């Protein structure tokens, strides 16, 4: 079987063709080995596509993937550079047929013409780098800004390499070795995050809390089901609305202490609550300082032998099934609590408690033009210099317009598509799974 591979590198504007004779039972992994032998491209840098689909399973044969004689495969070469500043592979591992054009050798005029010919790409540059987009009609100004950005990238790369060299200069320096150990730890954490995004993206979806519709003294309330709370709690405003504030026994007033403190106004010893078709007696502790109107605690759940059935997404009490509310019906005041965030890949942020992924902070945080330049000329983003206290992971390439269009065609907004692709290192399949799980 004869195959033609269209080789495209992130650092080169032109493409190359490679013709191979391979058996139909050849696996993807073996094909990558053949390409490495012929073109000296490392297998870790090879991303082979057939009809727009990435061939990610190295164990599958070409016949299983429905690759037939005469097909053309697209080979995208993406060089992998270690986070610790290890240099790229030597000349023996680089493509021998022609040297790839480096970032510094790119012609600003070619980039400018590409932006002029692609309105969507120009719009992305306008969002991320407004100064560069404003100069697209002025060739001299555009070239000046582009070269300034190249110089900034070069300086940052040199600072990074110099910093690592300084750390390794004295192997007996305890402080330097401590910083190196911290850099390694940070890289392992980032690697763990990348693996989770790639192989287990559903953990980054937002999980909403469990609420059900109830009635207290004939008044409808959305109750938060919390098996971790010891007592059933009601806010003073909810007690007023339900008409049971007059029943509060103030002898049970006090202060609740836990993560914080809150005033307990008293206790309603018995009031009727309707859950589903059941009318049950319930006692309420009226307490200030809660963002939820009614919280069904463990005392109520155990007293009536309630079961939280997550497989059915229902609360079962005495064989009566009460469905939990959907995310759209949950009171927003309780869900929208500010949570700490950590930096994720591609400029995204990840919630420290919920794990929910948010988009990049905006143009103010983009310190280089790598994102628009990558979209315009398929170039990698620059790596920020490593500070002594942390290791900055290598930035991922900005998502291509084709990848964004594929996700938009699935019904997602353009912003959601860009955020998901940034979080998944541009992988369309993982990004789609992340959006569907979210």
CATH number at residue 18: 3.10.20.90
CA 363/CA 129 separation, integer angstroms? 7
Distance of CA 211 to the CA centre of its chain: 27
Residue 99 lies in a domain: no
**Encoded tokens for 282:** 């319930």
In a domain, 165, yes or no: yes
How many domains does the chain divide into?
3
Please state the φ and ψ torsions of residue 253, each to the nearest 5 degrees.
Answer: -70, 155
Domain CATH for 309 = 2.40.70.10
DSSP class of residue 313 equals T
The answer to whether position 335 is within a domain reads no
Note whether 196 and 263 are same-domain residues.
no
User: How many residues in the chain?
Assistant: 438
Set 71, 79, 173, 226: catalytic member: 226
CA angle, corner 329, sides to 325 and 335, nearest 5? 95
Give whole-number Cα distances, 179 to 83, 84, 162, in Å: 14, 12, 14
pLDDT of residue 333: 61
Angle between helices 428-437 and 414-423 (to 10 degrees): 120
State pLDDT tens for residues 156-214. 888 877 877 887 788 788 888 888 888 888 888 888 888 887 788 777 777 788 999 99
Whether residues 351 and 389 fall in one domain = yes
Pair 38, 53: CB distance under 8 Å = no
Write out the two tokens for 203.
Answer: 């953990």
Q: What's the confidence (pLDDT) of residue 356?
A: 59
Distance between CA atoms of residues 433 and 274, nearest Å? 39
pTM of the predicted model over 0.85: no
DSSP 207: P
Domain presence at residue 419: yes
- For 139-249, list the strands marked E by DSSP: 211-216, 219-225, 233-234
124 and 17 in one domain?
Answer: no
Asked, for residue 102, whether it belongs to a domain, the answer is no
Per-residue pLDDT tens for 357-395?
Answer: 665 544 333 333 433 443 333 333 444 433 333 333 344
What is residue 91's predicted lDDT score, i.e. its pLDDT? 39
Q: Which of 69, 93, 117 is the last residue of a domain?
A: 93
Give the pLDDT confidence score for residue 4 in this predicted structure: 74
Domain match, 144 and 161 both: yes
* Beta strands 211-216; 261-275: pairing state: antiparallel
Same domain? 219 vs 320: yes
Instruction: Say whether both 352 and 395 belong to one domain.
Output: yes
Which phi and psi (to 5°) does residue 214 adopt?
-135, 170
Looking at the fold, whether 114 and 63 belong to one and the same domain comes out as no
Burial class (CB in 10 A: 0-12, 13-18, 19+), 335: middle
**Intra-chain end-to-end CA distance of the chain, in Å:** 43
The DSSP secondary-structure symbol of 386 reads: P
Domain boundary among 65, 93, 121: 93
Domain-embedded: residue 369: yes
| 101 is a domain residue | no
pLDDT in single tens digits along all 438 residues of the chain: 777 777 766 544 445 677 778 787 888 888 888 888 888 788 888 888 887 778 888 888 888 888 888 787 888 776 544 443 334 444 344 443 444 344 445 678 878 887 887 887 788 788 778 888 888 888 888 888 888 888 888 888 888 778 778 877 887 888 888 888 888 888 888 888 888 877 887 777 777 889 999 999 889 999 999 888 888 999 999 999 999 999 999 898 888 776 567 888 999 999 999 999 999 999 999 998 777 889 999 999 999 899 999 999 999 998 899 999 988 888 876 545 455 666 665 566 666 555 556 655 443 333 334 334 433 333 334 444 333 333 333 444 677 887 888 777 777 788 888 887 887 777 777 777 777 665
Range of the domain at 39: 2-93
The reported pLDDT for the residue numbered 345 is 59
Look up 226 and say whether it is catalytic: yes
Tell me the angle at which helices 370-377 and 119-128 cross, rounded to the nearest 10 degrees: 170
Q: What is the pLDDT of residue 146?
A: 87
Measured CA to CA, the distance from residue 84 to residue 373 in angstroms comes to: 24
Query: Could you tell me if 309 and 415 lie in one domain?
Result: no
For 73, the token pair is: 């495969």
Domain final residue pick, 50, 68, 93: 93
311: exposed, middle or buried (Cβ count in 10 Å: 0-12, 13-18, 19+): exposed
Q: For residues 78 and 58, give the distance between their C-alpha atoms in angstroms, rounded to a whole number.
A: 17
Residues 221, 197, single domain; the answer is no
Q: Please check whether residue 378 lies inside any domain of the structure.
A: yes
Count of C-beta atoms within a 10 Å radius of residue 220: 11
The set of residues, in sequence order, having a beta carbon less than 8 Å from that of 162 and lying 6+ positions away, is: none
What the block records as the tokens of 312 is 């059915």
Shared domain check, 302 and 346? no
216 and 142 both lie in a single domain: no
Task: Please say whether the beta carbons of 349 and 342 come within 8 A.
Answer: yes
| Residues 6 or more apart whose Cβ sits within 8 Å of residue 127 | 363
- Whether residue 184 is found in the same domain as residue 224: no
């Amino acid at each position: 079987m004869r195959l033609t591979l269209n080789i495209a590198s992130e650092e080169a504007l032109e493409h190359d063709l490679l013709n191979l004779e391979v058996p139909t039972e050849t696996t993807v992994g073996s094909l990558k080995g053949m390409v490495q032998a012929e073109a000296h491209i490392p297998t870790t840098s090879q991303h082979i596509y057939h009809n727009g689909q990435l061939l990610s399973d190295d164990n599958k044969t070409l016949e299983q993937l429905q690759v037939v004689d005469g097909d053309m495969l697209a080979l995208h070469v993406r060089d992998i550079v270690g986070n610790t500043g290890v240099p790229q592979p030597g000349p023996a591992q680089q493509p021998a047929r022609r040297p790839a054009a480096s970032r510094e050798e790119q012609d600003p005029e070619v980039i400018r013409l590409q932006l002029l010919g692609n309105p969507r790409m120009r719009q992305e540059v306008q969002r991320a780098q407004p100064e560069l987009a404003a100069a697209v009609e002025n060739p001299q100004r555009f070239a000046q800004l582009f070269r300034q950005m190249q110089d900034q990238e070069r300086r940052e790369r040199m600072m990074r390499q110099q910093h690592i060299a300084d750390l390794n200069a004295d192997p007996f320096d305890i402080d330097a070795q401590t910083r190196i150990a911290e850099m390694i730890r940070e890289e392992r954490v980032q690697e763990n995050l990348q693996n989770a995004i790639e192989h287990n993206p559903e953990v980054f979806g937002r999980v909403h809390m469990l609420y059900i519709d109830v009635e207290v003294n004939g008044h409808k309330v959305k109750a938060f089901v919390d098996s971790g709370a010891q007592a059933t709690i009601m806010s003073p405003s909810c007690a007023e609305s339900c008409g049971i504030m007059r029943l509060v026994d103030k002898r049970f007033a006090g202060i609740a202490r836990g993560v914080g403190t809150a005033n307990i106004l008293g206790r309603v010893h018995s009031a009727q609550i309707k859950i589903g078709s059941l009318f049950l007696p319930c006692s309420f502790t009226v307490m200030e300082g809660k963002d939820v109107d009614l919280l069904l605690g463990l005392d109520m759940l155990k007293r009536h032998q309630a079961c939280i059935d997550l497989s059915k997404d229902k609360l079962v009490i005495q064989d009566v099934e009460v469905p939990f509310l959907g995310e759209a019906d949950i009171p927003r005041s309780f869900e929208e609590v500010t949570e700490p965030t950590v930096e994720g890949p591609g400029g995204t942020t990840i919630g420290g408690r919920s794990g929910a992924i948010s988009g990049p902070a905006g143009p103010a945080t983009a310190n280089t033009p790598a994102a628009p330049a990558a979209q315009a000329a398929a170039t990698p983003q620059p790596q920020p210099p490593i500070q002594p206290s942390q290791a900055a992971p290598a930035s991922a390439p900005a998502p291509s317009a084709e990848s964004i269009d594929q996700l938009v065609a699935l019904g997602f907004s353009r912003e959601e598509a860009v955020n998901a692709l940034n979080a998944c290192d541009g992988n369309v399949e993982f990004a789609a799974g992340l959006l569907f799980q979210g």
